[in-house]
Amino acid sequence: MDHLHPGRPRSRRLRRAAAASAVAAALLAGIAPAAVAAPSAGPDIAVAAAPATGRLDRAELDRKLRAIHEAGIYGAYSTVRDGQTRFDGAAGFADVDTKRPVRPDFRHRVGSVTKSFTAVAVLQQSAKGRIDLDRPVGDYVPELLPGERGRKVTVRMLLNHTSGINDYVGDAFPSLLKGTTESLDDHRLRTVRPAELIGYGVARPQLSEPGAEWHYSNTNYLLLGEVLRKVTGQDPERLITRDVIRRAGLKNTYFPGTDPKIHGPHARMYESFYGLIDPPRDYSEYNMTWAGTAGALVSTTQDLNTFYRALLKGDLLPRTQLDQMRTTVDVKDADGKVGMRYGLGIYSMDTPCGPVWGHDGGVFGAGTWALSSPDGKRQFAIGYNLMKYQRLNEAGTAFLPHPADAAMGAYKDQALCGTTAPAPAAQAPAAPVPAPAPAPEAEKGTAAPVPPLVDAPAAALTAPRIARQR
């Protein structure tokens, strides 16, 4: 950032200031989870079609994983499974200074993949009759969502992001609203309570009428954590650990609490923030109370595949609750095309060989993507340690294509579709992806939507960006 490099030429500072403004606008417009535009018949339970299960071509998977590193990602580590057959791979560096290599078994901050775990815990309590998905949230936590909104917003709306409640991240990291990243460093070791973060999101203007539209918001999943606390009398992170993580048999997945360190083998995690942090800075030590039940989990790609397989096979939820989890709302791009279908804490998207289910996640310096065939047999999970590596054009009006986006998409398709899949179309867009212009309220930093915890995985940026629905 320029405040760290006062000697840079004025013209370069001005260009970076313009870029900062555009980045802030893009964040304020909201970035949805990963999606590649694909047709949809509307809300559904897409379980009939399973991806092709061509054999795991380990040499090709290794080549395509290395291509992600060669395209500019510092390090990537992944696990692919087809039944009992497994590929574990890694490419690149865990530390750019020492050139320590990454390993497939690294622990990693998985961001909003956490939402799938939280949703399972909520649905487990629903199966026990303690939570009614269509009951107003104000019945459970009136102190956190008071008044008319508390009577209109249901638990289901929190789960599928149709509550219309705004995100808290901009107020939790206020410099982001001004297009700078000082807050990331200022709050590195801060401990913050869920109620404070929820208060930020609830205090912002409602994005839409409850139930009317899809708006991705991390506030929804902190509220769900507090609903779990109210109905069970237990800390929600401990509850999820007992009822979801341990029940799924996961060995390397945990909530870090206030501990900023990742324990066990892991990579350094570098954040570029579209060039505002130059060179990218290591944020692998971070107090993750700012993410909580919306995105604080640490896991491995092996554990994520185990979790989603157990979920989709029906080992974590009764069939009724699993069917509700896979009942989706359409998420459309700026042209009105369905880019993905969001359920209750998981989403469905299309691949060259059929629909898959899962979630993605992004925190400062760490990106994750985990997708599985509808039956949980064919699976792909990847972690990578350089985030927001894309750049804006000179005018600060568009995100430029990045070769890592195409490499990520090619690896995903190889992993999920195998050798039987048709060759993917060219991944790079024909033109730069537009960065949205700031609305007047965004320029003032007052009433605009704020950045969600999830960053779209690199492959998602090769498709039309998911627009904030109005």
CA distance 256 to 296: 7
> Rounded to 5 degrees, what are φ and ψ at 295?
180, 30
Contact 252, 110 (CB under 8 A): no
- Phi–psi pair at 198, nearest 5 degrees: -60, -40
- Report how far residue 108's alpha carbon sits from residue 255's, in angstroms, rounded to the nearest whole number: 11
Q: What is the 3-state secondary structure (H, E, C) of the chain?
A: CHHHCCCCCHHHHHHHHHHHHHHHHHHHHCCCCCCCCCCCCCCCCCCCCCCCCCCCCHHHHHHHHHHHHHCCCCEEEEEEEECCEEEEEEEEEEECCCCEECCCCCEEECHHHHHHHHHHHHHHHHHCCCCCCCCEHHHCCCCCCCHHHHHHCEHHHHHCCCCCCCCCHHHHCHHHHHCCCHHHHHCCCCCCCHHHHHHHHHHCCCCCCCCCCCCCCHHHHHHHHHHHHHHHCCCHHHHHHHHHHCCCCCCCCECCCCCCCCCCCECCCEECHHHCCCCCEECCCCCHHHCHHHHCCEECHHHHHHHHHHHHHCCCCCHHHHHHHCCCEEEEECCCCEEEEECCCCEEEEECCEEEEEEEEEECCEEEEEEECCCCCEEEEEEECEECCCCECCCCCEECCCHHHHHHHHHHHHHHHHHHCCCCCCCCCCCCEECCCCCHHHHHCCCCCCCCCCCCCHHHHHCCCECCCC
Query: What backbone torsions phi and psi does residue 123 show, to the nearest 5 degrees?
Result: -70, -30
How many Cα atoms are found within 13 Å in the side-chain-facing hemisphere of 10?
0
Cβ atoms of 357 and 326 closer than 8 Å: yes
What are the tokens at 282? Answer: 């290591």
Asked about 112 being catalytic, the answer comes back as yes
What is the b/e burial string over 270-287, where b = at least 16 CB atoms within 10 angstroms of the residue's CB? bbbbbbbbeebbbbbebb
Instruction: From the candidates 21, 40, 78, 112, give the one annotated as an active-site residue.
Output: 112
Q: Catalytic amino acids?
A: 112
